[in-house]
Structures are given as C-alpha cells and as structure tokens.
Structure 1
Amino acid sequence: MVAVPAALGACSGAEHSSAAGSGTRAPVETAAKELEGAPACTATARLIPSCGAWWGLAPEVFTGAPIEQAVHGAEARMGAAADVLHVYHRGSELFPTAAEVRLARDPARPRLLMINWKPSFDHTWAEIAGGALDARIDRLAGYLRRTFPERFFLTIHHEPENDVDASSGSGMQATDYAAMFRHVVLRLREQGVKNAVTVMTYMGAPNWAAKPWFEELYPGDDVVDWVAMDPYADDRVQDFDGLVNKTREEYARWPGFYRWMQARFPGKPVMVAEWGVFERQDDPSFKKEFFASVRRQIKRYPQIKALLYFDSPRAPRGDTSFDSNSAAGRAFTELARDPYFRSTSVPRP
C-alpha cells in the first residue's frame, strides 16, 4: 500500500491546474520495500503511486448486498483489503453516500473511492454540454464541498463507445461526449470541487477502437488525469497480456489498448477500472491460471497504476466472482496479497 501525505486530502485550484495534463510519469519499482514497517512508496496529488499499483474492486455486484456488507464480504473472501472501492451512481444521486464515506474513512483500513457517474439517461451529451444539467452539477458540487474533501477518482459516463450515435444532430456523437465530459469537469471545478481526480474510461475492445470517430471521444488533457479501460477475459483471452492488449485479425492496425495508451498518453497513469474473468465450464482451472498470469505479467505494464476487479456472480455475460471455485479463490488471494499491490498506503483522513 502507498503512503499519501495527509496534505493531499484536498487540493487548491492552482495545484490541480498545474497537475492536469502535465505529462509526468511516476517511476515504478518492481518490489515493495518496507522500512521498519512503514510503506516505502508515496502517491502524487493525482493519486499516482510511485511504485507498484493500487489494488481495488467493485464488490459483489448485482447481488443486492448493501455496499458495506459487499465490501466487508469481498475483503474477507479474498483475505486482503482493497485500496480502491469502485462504486456506481447515476442521475441526480448525490455521492459519496454516507456508507461510502464510512468505508473511505474506515480507521482500520481507509479506502480510496472510484466513483462512476452517469449524469443522465434523459438528456443527450450535447444537451448536458449546453448546460441542461447545470443545476444538478451545482447541487452535487455543493454536497461534495460540504461532505467529502478527500481526494477521489471520478469517471463520467464510462464506456461511451456503445452509446455513440454518429448520425448528424443526434447529440450523441463522439464530439458531443468529449464536450459533455469537459463541461461537467470544468463546472465542478468552477463550483469549488478541487479534489476529484478525473478518469476517462474506455471499453477496451478493438471493434470500438476501429470506429472512425474513436479518437474524437477524448475530452482533453486538461480535464483528464488518468485514462482507463474495462477489459474482460472472454473466450479469446488466455492471460493478462491478452486482456490488456486485445487484438483481432479483422482490425489489423489496432495494436491493443495498453500499447495504444502508451503511445497516445505517454505521461498519464493507466487504470484497469473494471476487469473480470468469466467462469469456463469446460475449463474449471482457467480462473486460477489467469490470476496467476496477472502476478507473472503485471510488471510488464508499468503505466498501469491501478487494477480494479469486477466481482459479480451475475455479470451480464457470466460469473466473474473471483472465488467461484476454491482454486481460483486461492490464486486470487495470492494476487491480492502480492507485494506489488502492497507497497503503498491509502491516505487517512
């Protein structure tokens, strides 16, 4: 776990503007070094760990379990604490909730929040960019100022690719998404929210990356602190290398998402904001072997600074529970306890 100075709980506007789009890459060490029980690593104002990577998850999704029960249950199952808790909000919901604040401020094991927000399902991206939800954004900003001064990750309408409508005037073109993201972030900042570390989250699939509008989704370095992908291990993926660099023969020019992010965003940290391994009925050892591959291969990807698992027995395309069989559970516990993810400590409020 990475030690973060207490002063990083909140930041000034000047500090945030100097960090945004700076292009600075944090150095990476291949192993955690403990000095008299104190963490050896630190994190920047944008929550970039100086070595290793944050370990996190979205726990027990689609089970109906309240968030605190889900977190404690998942951490007990994996035998380790999560650095980052991934939660989802939509519309006019205010966040973080009281339960999420308690989890973030848990004195025994504080957690960073990765808050995933879709501002509206009733307005187009163009309408939001034009100010249609400004009152909602302002209300949220006031709530955040009063309730949660700590730094947190914020992604806005994650995985936009499959929501793009490229037709003229749809209000849902890729350029409309970029304008919406920019507007929301800048409006929050204008309203005094200086502690949100912003994340642009892509699906991480080659078919969407091949679209002619794909590059137009990006909102700009000044409003994006981290870039993220949400890849899942389907039948075409055999190990972690294949997960973060998916390719397909029919999209021969696509190098894979991690390679693309290295070239496109060389100075930005990469987050794997969702990843999951589906149960394979014909190969019950697949999950165990896959989790072992993450331990072997993660150090090949020094720009990945956070890895957040999507733990759900009822994910849309299958079971991504990390302990759907005992061998998988043991391998996941070994991964969660790996020193690469235990070199830094979450900041205490």
Structure 2
Amino acid sequence: MRIARGRGRVAALSAVALIGAGTALSACGSASGNDDSPGGSGKKGSNLASGRSEGAGRSCAPDAKLMPKCGAYWGIYSVQGASLTSAVTDIEGKVGRRFDIVLRFHDFSNKSGPGVFPDASERELGRSRLLFFAWESKLYQKQQSYKWRDIAAGTYDRTVIQPVAKRVKAYGRKVFMSFDPEMDRHMTKGELKGNEAEYVAAARHVHDVFAKAGVTNVVWVWTVTGAISGDNAQRILNSYPGDAYADWVGWDPYNFYKCHGGQWRTFDEKIGQTYRFFQKNGLGKKPFILPEYGTQFDPADTKRSLQWYREIPGVLKKKYPNIAGLVRFDAGPGCNLKVDNGPGMLNSYAEVGRDPYLNTSSG
C-alpha cells in the first residue's frame, strides 16, 4: 500500500532507492507466519523458484533480465542525505555494506531535475550498483497527472518518451524500470489517470517506443500496491500488461501498524498473501521484487520490532524464493518508516544485510 509521503514534492525529488552492490555477481551462501491467503499455496509448475539455487558456492551471476541465480538483492530508498550520492553512501557506511540497486523516482517533465535521467549522480552510483527508475506520468512541480489514454495515443512520444529512451540507451548498463508503479491507486482515488485497459495500453506503448528506439538495456518491473482486498485484486490482474511487457513483478508491502490504525504484521504476514496470489494467478514464472517495503517501530515491544528484520533471510529462503530483490523505504516524517526509527533497528537491519542470502554480489 502507498504511504502518504508526498512523492511529488520537490524535497523528495532527490530521493533514492537502492539495492546493493554491482552487476558482477558471484557466490551467495545459504540462510535459513500466518497464512491469511484466500488462494492457498498457488499453482505448482508456474513457479520460478524451482530453477533457483540456494547458493552454496554456486555462481549467482544474473541472467539477461538481471535475475540472480540465488539469493536476493538487498536495497534501500533514502532521502537521508545532503545529496543523492551521500544519501546512498551515508547509510552504506552505517550498515557496513554497499547496496545492489539504486531506485529513484522521476516524472514526465523531461527537464532538469526529476525528468532527466540518468543524471550525473545516478551515473556515478551506477558504476557499482544497479539503477532502478520509477517513472511516473505526472509533473511533480505542478502535481499534474497525465492520462494513460493520451500516452497510449502517442501524445508524449516526441516530447518525453523518445528522449528518455535515447538517454537510457546511451547509458548502456542494464537498469530496472517501472512505468507508473502502483497504478491501481490511480484508478480509484486522487490522481485518476484512467482504467485498467488504458493503463495496459499505455504501458505497452511506452515499452514499444523503447523497443523501436533500440533500447535493450531496460528490465521492466510491473509494480502494484499489493493490496488484494475487495475489488482491487481483480483490478490488479486486469492491469497486467502481459508477459512480453513485464520482466519482473513487484509490490510494496508495509507494516504500518498504528500509523494506519492497523494491527502489527510480521514480514512473513505482510508478503505472504500477495505472493501466493500472484503464484495462483500464473505470475510465479516471473521473478518478484519488493520495490518498497518497511515497518513501523513498536515502542511497547522492541523485541518484535527487531525481529521484523531478523526473520527476512530465513523466510525468503524457506517460503518465498521467487522474491529476488527488496528495497527498504527509508523516509519520514508522517508514517515514520526510516530504517533507524527506534532503538536497535539500524543495527538489526545491518545485521540482516550481512546474511549470505542477501549478498549476491562480489562487492
């Protein structure tokens, strides 16, 4: 689910999300909830996990779609720095490792700042990390959204999409990219951009413009909220652009706890239902990623707050091997989802980040 964080604010435009160190991946080691899913364990045979290694000395080198053969990329989104570069390197210094991916949000302005990417800071960080672009069809400065039907009709091809495709192609390195992540939010409230069919048409059009421009270094991530209550489950399925247009499947689980008036949910509980939903509906052949995730801190129960991180490696390996990447959202105020949002949380996060299962790179 989306948090109320004002993503379009100018202050957030320097925000960065990252997932670990480098594109040259080597050996990864081993690592060791409540089932609230209405769909059970999902379909056998449509699961990518059967082809995934646990590591144990084998090469984790990724395939052409950046899927590591074992383990999972470890990442963060952070605004906790004086610049994009320092936002990344500062937290890397605190947790004692380099991350694997840098995720940043960009808009459709195609102007300096939020609309031009990759920029100089991203290029610098991308030398030893993967870049992940969350590309939103809106203008941050004006808080103006574009309609998907206009994007699909080619209205912004020459002014926005083609120039971006050209720059990304020139960058040369493989990158992750999501077009309008959490599109299901934009169909029900707030910035109404269109319906499911219009999103699918827009996503396919953007993909095809990139393909026509000869862009071969983009790995497309289809990202939804992951909320499958009520009619949103069908809305999500109706918004899938098709296997040829989505290389990875992503969703954004948060343990908001009291911030949204909810109950405490473990990492396992937050990801399990949506994971099984995607498997049941035939998407288990795709690698999964959590482009945003996070937790509140419970001052009444520090132990379970720290445990929220500590269960991640074992839970992923044992129950959710399709998940091959996680990007920790590190920001506040509002719902305080910073990594260091309570006593011991930063150290617990750093400890988990050293687990062999979450170290797929050679560093």
- TM range, normalised to the smaller chain? 0.7 to 0.9
Structure 1 residues 271-308: Cα deviation after superposition (integer angstroms, max 9, x where no partner): 01110111223333343110012133111211001111
Change (3 A) 1:64 1:127: farther
The question of 1:295 aligning with 2:319 is answered: no
Amino acid at match of 1:296: G
Q: Which residue of 2 aligns with 1:68?
A: 85
CA distance in 1, matches of 2:53, 2:99: 20
In 2, are the aligned partners of 1:154 and 1:199 still within 8 Å (CA)?
A: yes
CA distance in 2, matches of 1:66, 1:81: 17
In 1, are the aligned partners of 2:145 and 2:193 still within 8 Å (CA)?
A: no
1:33 alignment partner, SS class: coil
CA distance in 1, matches of 2:205, 2:360: 36
CA-atom RMSD in angstroms: 2.3
1:207 alignment partner, SS class: coil
CA distance in 1, matches of 2:203, 2:56: 36
Q: Which residue of 1 aligns with 2:33?
A: none
CA distance in 1, matches of 2:218, 2:180: 15
Q: Which residue of 1 aligns with 2:183?
A: 160
In 2, are the aligned partners of 1:262 and 1:303 still within 8 Å (CA)?
A: no
Unmatched segments (≥5 aa) in structure 2? 1-20, 26-45, 139-143, 258-262
Structure 1 residues 181-222: Cα deviation after superposition (integer angstroms, max 9, x where no partner): 111111111112111000000101133664553321111111
Q: Which residue of 2 aligns with 1:241?
A: 268
Q: Which residue of 2 aligns with 1:184?
A: 206
Unmatched segments (≥5 aa) in structure 1? 6-22, 35-39, 246-255
Q: Which residue of 1 aligns with 2:156?
A: 133
Change (3 A) 1:241 1:171: closer
Amino acid at match of 1:330: N
Please report how far the alpha carbon of residue 313 of structure 1 lies from its aligned counterpart in structure 2 after TM superposition: 3.1
User: When the two structures are superposed, what TM-score results if normalisation uses the length of structure 2?
Assistant: 0.77
2:229 alignment partner, SS class: helix
Change (3 A) 1:130 1:70: same
Structure 1 residues 16-46: Cα deviation after superposition (integer angstroms, max 9, x where no partner): xxxxxxx893632334527xxxxx3211000
Q: Which residue of 1 aligns with 2:129?
A: 111
- Of residues 260, 283, 297, the one that matches 1:265 is 283
Q: Which residue of 1 aligns with 2:118?
A: 96
Q: Which moved more, 1:122-131 or 1:274-283?
A: 274-283
Structure 1 residues 138-197: Cα deviation after superposition (integer angstroms, max 9, x where no partner): 111222233x1000000011011111059xxx8601111111111111111111211100
Please report how far the alpha carbon of residue 2 of structure 1 lies from its aligned counterpart in structure 2 after TM superposition: 8.2
Change (3 A) 1:32 1:56: farther
In 2, are the aligned partners of 1:285 and 1:328 still within 8 Å (CA)?
A: no
Q: Which residue of 1 aligns with 2:54?
A: 30
1:282 alignment partner, SS class: coil
Q: What is the count of residue pairs matched by the alignment?
A: 302
Please report how far the alpha carbon of residue 237 of structure 1 lies from its aligned counterpart in structure 2 after TM superposition: 4.2
CA distance in 2, matches of 1:319, 1:271: 22
Amino acid at match of 1:139: P
The sequence identity of aligned pairs, in percent, is: 28
The question of 1:53 aligning with 2:83 is answered: no
The question of 1:205 aligning with 2:227 is answered: yes
Structure 1 residues 319-349: Cα deviation after superposition (integer angstroms, max 9, x where no partner): 1222223421221111111000113347xxx
Structure 1 residues 73-122: Cα deviation after superposition (integer angstroms, max 9, x where no partner): 111122211011111111121211110010011xxxx1001110013344
CA distance in 2, matches of 1:284, 1:307: 23
2:279 alignment partner, SS class: helix
Q: After superposition, where does 1:223-242 map in structure 2 within 5 Å?
A: 223-235=245-257, 236-242=263-269
In 1, are the aligned partners of 2:224 and 2:236 still within 8 Å (CA)?
A: no
CA distance in 2, matches of 1:179, 1:186: 10
In 1, are the aligned partners of 2:84 and 2:121 still within 8 Å (CA)?
A: yes
In 2, are the aligned partners of 1:32 and 1:342 still within 8 Å (CA)?
A: no
Q: Which residue of 1 aligns with 2:36?
A: none
Q: Which residue of 1 aligns with 2:28?
A: none
Change (3 A) 1:244 1:273: same
Change (3 A) 1:258 1:85: same
Change (3 A) 1:126 1:102: same
The question of 1:310 aligning with 2:329 is answered: yes
- Of residues 194, 214, 237, the one that matches 1:172 is 194
User: When the two structures are superposed, what TM-score results if normalisation uses the length of structure 1?
Assistant: 0.80
CA distance in 1, matches of 2:56, 2:269: 26
